[in-house]
Amino acid sequence: MQLEDYFDFLAPNDIRVKGTRVGIEAILSDYLALGLFPEQIAARYRTLSIEQVYATLTYYWRNREQVEAYLRAVDEEVERQRREQDLHPSPAVQRLRELARQREQPGHWQRRICYLEAK
């Protein structure tokens, strides 16, 4: 079995552990940013085996330059999507923001109590 056989290369910024929906960036973030051990990472993701975690780490160390470029691309895409969502929120997010604004207005709770008492 080749190391690459452990992964599904779905797109330039979407590499997942084969047979799961877990992206290698999730595993590598736990390892690099949080300092978790492979056993701890496997425990966090029920669909991953310890072998798959070690395969991901091995893939990272064997292809460090490429994988770090991949991680940067994923981070950039996530940030782009966040900006897009901020600029064009869904109707549900717009409604939640409006409700939050209403709650921050003075007297909100008094009006709410009067409304509930009238029921």
pLDDT averaged per 10 residues, the chain (length 119): 95 95 97 97 96 98 97 94 89 86 72 60
Report pLDDT for 93. 86
- Domain parsing of the chain, residue ranges: 3-88
Q: What is the pLDDT of residue 105?
A: 79
Residue 117 CA, distance from chain mean position: 43
> pTM of the entire structure?
0.74
Task: With beta carbons less than 8 A apart as the criterion, state whether 73 and 11 touch.
Answer: no
Phi, psi of 23 (to 5 degrees): -80, 150
| Cα(21)–Cα(16) distance, integer angstroms | 6
* CATH label, 3-88, candidates 1.20.1050.10, 1.10.8.50, 3.40.50.300, 1.10.10.10: 1.10.10.10
